[in-house]
Amino acid sequence: MATRAMEQNDVPMALRAAESLLMAMLSCERAYLFAHPERELTSEEARQYQQSCARRAKGEPLQYITGRQEFRGLDFRVTPDVLIPRPETEHLVEAAVEVAKQLAQKGRTLQIVDIGTGSGCIAIALANELQELTPQADLQAVDISEKALLVARQNARHLGLEGRVRFAQSDLLSAFAGQPESFDIIVSNPPYVGRNEADKVQREVREFEPDVAVFGGAEGMDIYKRLIPQAWQSLKPGGWLLMEIGYSIEAPVRALLTEWQNVDAVPDLQGIPRVVKAQKPAA
């Protein structure tokens, strides 16, 4: 019955969603469901499960219902106050780790900041993966939303990395305006969907994820136009800016980086440009 309701509402992978909701409610793995087919739900469990399935049938993302999403092997907590971490964003973390390795080999004690941190997935994943490479690295993460920062701080604490990342409220890099040339690496997954293509966005994203984290102006470029000049001021000479991009905006983003060097695009597994990285020229 739960699967049928979701199928009738065009919910993709309805059976898998029904299983995931049941697993979340019972706090068990999929193997447990198959190993215990005789397990009957209590009346309260059945009520909760039906409510969860009804929410998914209405289009609410599975991650907001279960409150969880895996990213880079870490279990993140998510709420409607933050963008749901996606596999595509893992390419941004991978690229940032590679840049960090290059800089660490030169003996630099790295200063890294994640702009628009949301759930904290990028900054926390970097903190986790850089612990052995550069344990003295200073990682900061900012967001304009205090509600998002609350989720990010909870994730850092939940994952045992609370002491590795400092969080602060800031509109892009405004909190560091009086501290020029402070960072070695700036990373960001900014909102890059244009209002002019809202009809192409999945219903789950358009109706449920935070608007401020999805849409970047009429053509998806508003944040890049503000962030890139600010990053130029905040990066040390030889520092790197890494940004996730949408599939259609590589060229206009590159056009904003004419003064930078080593500008490159990193593709995802489908060959679509997913990350743009650029280096501020050394002094």
Instruction: Tell me the HSE value of 250 on the side-chain side, using a 13 A CA sphere.
Output: 13
Q: Are residues 127 and 230 in the same domain?
A: yes
For 164-195, the pLDDT digits (tens) are 999 999 999 999 998 999 999 999 999 998 88
Q: Are residues 8 and 130 in the same domain?
A: no
Q: Are residues 94 and 40 in the same domain?
A: no
Q: Are residues 156 and 236 in the same domain?
A: yes
Structural domain count of the chain: 2
73 in a structural domain: no
The answer to whether the CB of 134 falls within 8 A of the CB of 100 is: yes
Query: Among residues 278, 274, 279, 281, which one has the least CA distance to residue 88?
Result: 274
Q: Give the Å distances, CA to CA, from 150 to 71, 81, 112, 117, 190.
A: 18, 9, 20, 11, 19
Cα-Cα-Cα-Cα torsion 219, 60, 76, 89, nearest 10 degrees, comes to -30
Q: Report DSSP state, residue 183.
A: E
Q: Give the Å distances, CA to CA, from 255 to 75, 85, 186, 197, 258.
A: 37, 28, 19, 21, 6
pLDDT, residue 80, reads 96
Q: Are residues 16 and 84 in the same domain?
A: no
Backbone φ, ψ for residue 203 (5° rounding): -55, -40
Enclosing domain of residue 192: 79-279
pLDDT, residue 1, reads 60
Q: Are residues 122 and 11 in the same domain?
A: no
150 in a structural domain: yes
Q: Are residues 106 and 235 in the same domain?
A: yes
The CATH number assigned to the domain holding 116 equals 3.40.50.150
pLDDT means per 10 residues, the chain with 283 residues, are: 75 85 86 82 88 91 95 97 96 97 86 98 97 89 98 98 96 94 97 85 87 90 97 97 95 97 95 96 87
